[in-house]
Amino acid sequence: MANTKWPTTDKSKYLAKPGILRIDGPPKVKGEAKYAYDINRPQMLFAKILSSPHANAAIRSIDISAAEKMPGVRAISIMTGPGAAGVSAQRVKVTPQWDGFPIAAVAADTEELAKDAIRAIKVDYEIQPHHVNAFDLDKAPADRKPAPQAQLTGTEESLAAAFKAAASVVEGTYGLSSVAHCCLEAHGQVAEWPAADRLKYIASTQSVTTYNGQVAMSFQMPPANIEVSCQYIGGGFGSKFTVDDWGLVCAELSKKAGRPVKLMLERDQELQIAGMRPSTFGKVKVGCDAEGNITAWESTIWGTAGMAGALPGPQVVPYVFVGIPNSKRTGQRISTNVGGARAWRAPNHPQAAAITMTALDDLAAARKMDPLDFFMKNLALTARPNFTIDFPKVYREELTIGADLIGWKKKWQPRGTTAGPVKRGLGLALSTWAGAGHASQCMCIVNSDGTIELRIGTQDLGTGTRTALTIVAAETFGVPMNLITVKIGENSYPASGSSGGSSTIGGIASSSRRACTEALNQVLAKVAPALGVAPEALEVADGFVRVTAEPGKRMAWKEAAGKIGPTPVSVTADRDKPGDQAPLFTANVGGINMAEVTVDTETGIVRIEEMVAVQDVGLVVSHKTCESQVLGAMIMGVCSALYEELIYDDQTGRLLNPNLEFYKLAGIGDVGRLRVHLMTGPGYDERGPIGVGEPAMNGPVASIANAVANAVGVRVPIAPFTPDRVLAALQQGGRA
């Protein structure tokens, strides 16, 4: 009989094997994969949204009469302001409070006609005062910043004493500007009503199983009557969990017009309203003793998440080095008239790393220590006694491997000591993430021809969900991957959670492992008599069912499956099994990132030369797609560190770069050479699968920040490190 315990990576045939390719690669490269944006339905209408051009305004009136009369216009909904009605008007009493705020939506025969109609809607706005930037805490109006929250470890007296006793104390300002999720597939969906009481969505969503529940209340219909499908999604990064105003209005327009409606946000709207990562800035004071042991920390952090979005609180720093004995942390939020924050790939962590790892790097420099030695020396401060992970050990192993890969000891030199105008520097950062598996159920069906099917209500964000599920099934049944079909992306399948927080792999690997194991055991029970043994005596390997004690006594998988009979074996299993003392997944990982940059001190241009990520993910399931996620996180880190930033105009309150020309993303030539090392073996495998999407995102900005400081000899405080900021820091530091 099979049991659910994971094999270690050295004993497995499919887990952590680099040669296994993404199974949905071919439909993607052929252009066959259909995203919500690609869906065309018979008689489908195209909808567009009218957005507010003001950062803060009241609406005196909205006149849709001209738009209604235009040819090809089939339905109009007012979503905000006078005349707002229907399910999308839930904010009817709310005034537009940021640039891009949805006001009305039109469905028409073509995209062009819908845009014409949007332009024909007349809105009379009464402009009101706005505040959009949060760089300067002091400049924010008093009514925009509620009283700060403070937290203390130790006492005020012990903190003061620790700073007084410190051999070195540094003070600095650090931080990250707001960035957008900037999904390449804009937010949106196709909605249609197959019957008066039945609604179908094909949506770009990270949450296929909670989408219908979100809609059901609005339309006052049972969730069971709402079908949701998402086979492919063109980027989410934490911004596509909710149905949103545009999801509701799309179905409403469809109902009014009696035809399917597609509504995808325009690119400017995608950047204005469909998700941002909060800016976070910090003033930090940190001290250490003569040997470099960190003894005291004091910080004030602030930033903005829009009017009400979630912002990193004071507790997020000091990051990773949670054991600093004396610390005081204060946090303050600034409300701004900008599109609200959404969970952005590792909420709080990139910001916390960019404030903590930089301050510690400055302290190492003040102590004239190599930061690699300094961070190694302080690893005991990363310990979390009640966790299943031994952080100091993991970080030590990873730093050792990373230093070797990038040639740290050979290359590192003290700050600002490169000769000539182009300076070279190295930086590093540590990171972590929880990534525990979400709730998940999976159905496994075994047919008498030996084919195996998994059905699971999850979604593949490009992370490799389909591939990982196929690998788990192949590993469990000991059969080739081509016998396995994985069906996901429909809310009619057994429910899994939203794909966020790196929670997917822990959930789906566990439920699919249990479903496959139980299904296999049912097959073994049917095969056992033919092999003349009890089911307990059987195992599977290399496409055979065989007697464990007598491996020569075996039956090919297809023949064994033939014993099932006409009714397939069908098992639905949960992530957890009551009474099972050995969960198949755990939480918490550690990772390190190292960067080598060059900085041209005459132009202020920073270039990435090389980056190394060494990442722990517990048990690696799908090596290739796991590695791709780490690479992707490093590249996203380069974008945040050097290029991308939501730039808001103080005068007009508008977003100045709602497009891809001026909202800058790194191109293929901007990312340097990237290397990834995934940790496997003892200390890693036995912890079970833990998500990777987020963890690798957290170090890159901080390591690049430290590499820049190492190169030029001064700290460039705020990312992205654009030429103007680099040159300003050089001038201020007397190095221009």
Give the binding site for other proteins (CB under 8 A).
21-22, 24-26, 28-35, 37-38, 40, 46, 110-112, 116, 182-186, 232-237, 264, 266-267, 461-463, 624-625, 627-629, 631-636, 659-661, 665-669, 671, 674
* Dist CA 204 CA 185 (whole Å): 8
Taking CA atoms, 242 is separated from 199, 229, 275, 314, in Å, by: 17, 14, 11, 27
CB of 513 to other proteins, least distance (A): 24
DSSP structural state of residue 57: E
CB of 24 to other proteins, least distance (A): 8
* Dist CA 488 CA 502 (whole Å): 18
CB of 461 to other proteins, least distance (A): 6
Quick one: 40 or 220, whose CB is closer to other proteins?
40
CB of 633 to other proteins, least distance (A): 7
Quick one: 476 or 502, whose CB is closer to other proteins?
502
Quick one: 94 or 184, whose CB is closer to other proteins?
184
CB of 643 to other proteins, least distance (A): 11
* Dist CA 250 CA 262 (whole Å): 7
Question: What's at 703, amino acid-wise?
Answer: S
Whether the Cβ atoms of residue 235 and residue 183 lie closer than 8 Å to each other: yes
* Dist CA 698 CA 282 (whole Å): 17
Whether the Cβ atoms of residue 215 and residue 226 lie closer than 8 Å to each other: yes
The residue whose two tokens read 């794909």 is 499
Structure tokens at 139: 């400049």
CB of 402 to other proteins, least distance (A): 17
Dihedral of CA 152/153/157/159: which sign? negative
Quick one: 27 or 194, whose CB is closer to other proteins?
27
CB of 277 to other proteins, least distance (A): 13
Quick one: 345 or 546, whose CB is closer to other proteins?
345
What is the CB neighbour count within 10 angstroms for residue 148? 14
First to last CA, the chain: 71
CB of 421 to other proteins, least distance (A): 22
Nearest C-alpha neighbor of 434 from the set 399, 389, 466, 469 = 389
Pairing of strands 168-176, 718-719: parallel
Quick one: 577 or 664, whose CB is closer to other proteins?
664
Whether the Cβ atoms of residue 190 and residue 227 lie closer than 8 Å to each other: no
Nearest C-alpha neighbor of 72 from the set 112, 124, 27 = 112
CB of 466 to other proteins, least distance (A): 12
Nearest C-alpha neighbor of 516 from the set 470, 585, 565, 578 = 470
Structure tokens at 368: 């004239």
Quick one: 31 or 682, whose CB is closer to other proteins?
31
Quick one: 29 or 530, whose CB is closer to other proteins?
29
CB of 597 to other proteins, least distance (A): 17
3-state DSSP call for residue 39?
A: coil
Quick one: 36 or 50, whose CB is closer to other proteins?
36
The residue whose two tokens read 């073994």 is 524
Quick one: 237 or 302, whose CB is closer to other proteins?
237
> Which residues are registered as beta bridge partners of 333?
303
What is the CB neighbour count within 10 angstroms for residue 588? 20
Q: What is the full DSSP assignment across 489-512?
A: SBTTSSBB--S-TT-HHHHHHHHH
Structure tokens at 669: 């030539």
CB of 113 to other proteins, least distance (A): 9
Quick one: 209 or 463, whose CB is closer to other proteins?
463
